[in-house]
Amino acid sequence: MHIYVEGIFLTELQFKVFPDNPKLDYNLHVTCSSHFINDNQLTQIFNFDVMHLVEAPPFDLKFTLEARFLSEGEGEPTLAEFSKSNGPAYVVPYARELISNLTSRTDVPTLTIPPVNIFRLIEEERMELINDTMTIDDFINPEKGSDI
């Protein structure tokens, strides 16, 4: 099977600078949902919150990236397997670049996010949601758009 990236798109952006708060702490928070359009098309939605629960942040930055993938042929990995393993990894460089680029154009110090393990971030969010509000059906019911 061949899987192609159709595109990775910025679909939402919220950015506000607080220059009186110079301390550059951050807490990157990521959620992801996968939506199978058909057997050959996958859309993944990634919501990023760079200053999640940071007290007196130098800025507030939240954004959504949408990744679209197409598959051709038969074989491994399936599109569902790809959505849990490779798909999220394609988005991280786009998110890191957006964060650096936006902050470099402000009065606050540029924030350069080091390489991150997006799978760990998504798993942390998943565990938080399980403990708070989600049921097991929310994870295994693909008709709803499953979280990964």
Q: What is the pLDDT of residues 41-100, one digit of tens each?
A: 999 999 999 999 999 899 999 999 999 999 988 878 888 888 887 888 888 899 999 999
- Around Cβ 126, how many Cβ atoms within 10 Å? 17
Domain range enclosing 66: 2-144
pLDDT band at 145 (very low <50, low <70, confident <90, very high): very low
Tally of structural domains, the chain: 1
Q: Give residues with Cβ within 8 angstroms of 52, minimum separation 6.
A: 27, 28, 29
Rounded to whole angstroms, the Cα distance separating 4 from 79 reads 10
Is residue 125 within 8 A of residue 139, CB to CB? The reply is no
pLDDT of residue 79: 85
- List the Cα angle 115/62/46 in 5-degree steps: 65
- Domain of residue 35, CATH code: 3.10.420.10
Residue 43: DSSP 8-state: E
pLDDT of residue 78: 83
Angle between the 118-132 and 87-104 helix axes, to the nearest 10 degrees?
Answer: 100
Torsion, CA 5, CA 84, CA 114, CA 92, rounded to 10: 30
